[in-house]
Amino acid sequence: MNKIYLTIITENQNAEIKVEKLSEKILNYEKNCKLISIEKYHKLENSFKLEFEISIYSENINLINEVLAYSNKIVTPWLIYYNEENKSVELIFNKSKFSRFRKNEFKVINWMQIQYE
């Protein structure tokens, strides 16, 4: 079993109830996804930080493909960082004019990170 960690920073969200609805959408994409925390994100006005843990039951060789397939269900494009020394993979999404959101509810996502180590 492998674990990946998903962090989302929202924008224009002044009520936690709206962020909870976003977390429900994310949780519905993956049955092995668990919400770790929701908290105010003080670096940006009207923002929240959501953290998830996702368990993936596959061989390491297929893991990167699964992570990419999962992340693409939410937003795109992604920057991918690979560290050869410790075999870690990190995906970063930064909202821009080129961003594509798979659901309207995801348009509040300003930044996102997926880590696998």
Provide the CATH number for the domain around residue 58: 3.30.70
Residue 117: pLDDT band with limits 50, 70, 90: low
Our count of domains for the chain comes to: 1
Q: Out of 12-21, 72-81, 83-92, pick the least confident.
A: 83-92
Q: What is the mean pLDDT of residues 10-22?
A: 93
- For the chain, the 3-state helix, strand and coil shares in percent, each to the nearest 5, are 25, 45, 30
pLDDT of residue 108: 96
**To the nearest 10°, the Cα dihedral for 87, 77, 24, 10?**
100
pLDDT of residue 24: 94
pLDDT of residue 93: 97
Q: Read off the pLDDT of residues 23-81 as tens digits, 9 standing for 90 and up.
A: 999 999 878 899 999 999 999 999 999 999 998 877 666 777 888 888 999 999 999 99
**93 within 8 A of 107, measured Cβ to Cβ:** no
Residue 21: pLDDT band with limits 50, 70, 90: very high
The boundaries of the domain holding residue 87 are 2-116
Pinpoint the alpha helices (H) of 1-117.
16-29, 60-72
Closest among 5, 38, 2, 29 to 106, alpha carbons compared: 29
